[in-house]
Chain A
């Protein structure tokens, strides 16, 4: 008898299904999957080991992931870690001896406005303190399921510009979709173009042009993919959009599908947002009931379209669109080579439209309100509004809908950052900004922001922050190309050296040179942007670095630390 075989794109779900049962996969599971997918075990293992939420060793009856992003680190990560270790008996990275708890750290989980935060069995717990940890763990021990203990994360929408609000205004489901009755696909694209919409996922590619490109590529099958991987540390705008108005995002996807001629949609939802999955699926169900999804969606031309949610499994790089496509296909999330654009050959080699959550939401608003309305907002090159996720040292972390063009200083005042010294704009991949740049405007003409806005005050040590970013890249690189995989590790060692006080002027020059090498030669955006923060910081905070390096020009390398080098020996012969 032929064994039942599954198509490769189902692999992630198949792994999840097995993983959910006991919290890890053993060799038997891997072998079974290999048979199901008619492939070798090593290939399955290769996929499993790529994603950090998949374990090959038991990960506890309850699995705890504490966020180690910088905002968490500056808000009590260390105490909370100790509390978890003490209460659960599990050391970081391990389970406790009874196998009740597994305790791990993870990159940003999109809750930077309420750190320190963790996921317990993928349910969020926020604003943790040692006391809170104690209570939670005690309840888990007494048998309470994580679902009943978790916090409903606050949306923290702190600011919308009154009359000029465009994205976060009152939402009436179906409004944007209703417009399809008047429009042909090209007219939808024209609206998006007229509005001047750009991708909100960080690359700012003109959305209309992308849609038109996808439309032009003739194919019997096309896909629309919503990128809900939101992995850039400090970004949580997509979380809030999906939590407050998932319908708006779905409508945007439907418009996109109508425009490009696609009938299948996928929302690639990061595993960190698994707690949102039910809500999104419920909304999809509601839409189907109303015939807003399915075979006969009311529109000027015949239109059928449906959407499913695909859960990721923990890998920042899967936000990169071609890595995301590979992940959807049940592969390791390695970015593809730039031979074809996704709109040419995307998911399953078919033309695929990939847009960010906020891009789809804004597209829906454009159809609701009309392109002219958006043109009246923002700047010439960046019409419209932008959702910014603010976190770090300010009184009001949360979501800000700003008009493009707002001055940095004004935004800092809005969020009540009292003593800002350094802002990391667009996440670790973005731009480091000093307070000399208060007057810069957030827009394409000056300083673009993908959504993350992390504020650090004067009490924060710059190197500690940069090292946190560097650890992130070292860990999250997909590992496939030399400059990013090896280069980020090498830079990481350099920063450690600086932090130990062993740096020299030459180290700063080398960071810049080597950073440029990584930037220019990496295969995808992850590597290309990874050295940004440290290179910027060296330029913008010269006084800080001046105090931390040896400037004597001595030909004896001060970076070699004799005391440290003989310490192990002295221990061994004690």
Chain B
């Protein structure tokens, strides 16, 4: 070191070179620190996502745009609210975009997802915005999926055509800010350059036609790695409500606007389900085919969001009858795949489905409606927009282990942790 200086990281003094980027200094000191937009080849760093926020001398700063100076007092983990802050940034990005992970080419290799896993994002505290965004198929080689862009700016600063011109730029301002691609410049990119762009994009926003990103389940960036089966996800659960002791515990389940996949996943407990039946009693549930609540229930498990008036009525009834409600799966948590319609006006959806579709007969076609059938809501609502939800178990579907651990925790106050490999959005 030419100009060593001393900084304090979480109370520990370390020596670094004067003017090192704080994020590098922290990582050199083997302290874990998440980051998203930071890409070590881009100088000066972008500082857009704010996921790398730490506290320096009492103020929050993005560690990727701050230079280490002698005597700095840096807090990374000692203050747990900082973890929550970084998590909030990631949750905002999820709420702001339209991230349908199960349908995304980058799923499993996506850094936004990876951040969500690492930080334990099981639900976004912010309601999803569902802004209609385009998919741009115009470029010769690429497809730009604006629903997934987190506006990190990597592509803008990093992707240049051979004569040094920018291929990407930001356009507009405020929440309309988006990346724009130059079709002319894009067409001059070599295949290697195009693939490079796809790879530096932390999300699935930049795709190259004919070049698949997809790797099989189990082989993807966030499936593998020695950590997946050892590292636990820092999920913050609410305090367990004390359940009355004595009798058998009662569970109810329901599938609202879901595909029954989460219920299937519950059945994946295999023999475990036999143990479960010993311990608990199922009330209203498709598993028992009991149609109506016959008693007060301890735990209600909800699959699917609310897409029609009946879903809302059922969910409200669950809230009234159950002490604890658990949203399982992406659909219940924030809408999931059915919420793909949320960026399109309902009228258009209905007309497309019932009036203008291939199979609708011209004269006879109507939008179904009758006093006996539920009314379709203007959009698919997350369950926690309609009632309070106590627990969230992400996944599409969630892993059986994860569900089982949570249920055991609620019923028997059993401590547990969730492994990275059990925590997925797809």
Contact = CB atoms under 8 A, between A and B. Distances in A.
B151 interface: yes
Interface stretch (A64-72, A260-268, A562-570): A562-570
Contacts, number: 198
A49 B174 CA distance: 11
Interface residues on A, range: 35 or more
Contact of A43 (B53, B166, B172, B381): B166
B33 to A, nearest CB: 15
Interface string A368-401: 0000000000000000000000000000000000
A242 B379 CA distance: 52
Contacts of B387: 555-557
Interface string B170-208: 111111110011101100000000000000000000000
B234 to A, nearest CB: 18
Q: How big is the B interface, by class?
A: 35 or more
A489 B88 contact: no
Given A42-B168, A483-B50, A555-B319, A489 B96 contact: yes
Interface stretch (A96-104, A189-197, A224-232, A513-521): A513-521
Contacts of A38: 165
Given A489-B129, A565-B377, A482 B173 contact: no
A441 interface: no
A339 interface: yes
Interface in A207-265: none
B44 interface: yes
B175 A339 contact: no
A51 to B, nearest CB: 8
B173 A337 contact: no
Contact of B369 (A479, A523, A573): A573
B60 A521 contact: yes
Contacts of B126: 486, 490, 514
B92 A486 contact: yes
Given A493-B129, A560-B385, A573-B369, A485 B174 contact: yes
Interface stretch (B101-109, B221-229, B344-352, B406-414): B344-352
Nearest to A335: B47
Nearest to A38: B165
A479 B173 contact: yes
Contacts of B235: none
A279 B39 CA distance: 48
A568 B48 contact: no
A573 B385 CA distance: 26
Interface in A305-341: 315, 332, 334, 337-339
B347 A41 contact: no
Contacts of A476: 173-174
B378 A523 contact: no
Nearest to B349: A572
Interface of B: 44-45, 47-51, 53, 59-62, 65-67, 85, 88-89, 92-93, 95-96, 125-127, 129, 150-151, 153, 161, 165-177, 180-182, 184-185, 309, 312, 316, 319-320, 345-347, 350-351, 367, 369, 375-379, 381, 384-388
Given A521-B60, A521-B89, 5 more contacts: A43-B166, A482-B96, A486-B92, A562-B312, A572-B350
Interface of A: 38-43, 45-46, 49-50, 52, 315, 332, 334, 337-339, 474-483, 485-490, 493, 510, 514, 517, 520-523, 555-557, 559-560, 562, 564-573
25 contacts: A39-B165, A40-B166, A40-B167, A42-B171, A339-B66, A474-B175, A478-B173, A479-B151, A479-B177, A480-B151, A481-B47, A481-B48, A483-B88, A485-B96, A485-B177, A493-B129, A520-B60, A521-B85, A556-B320, A556-B386, A557-B388, A560-B381, A566-B378, A568-B378, A569-B346
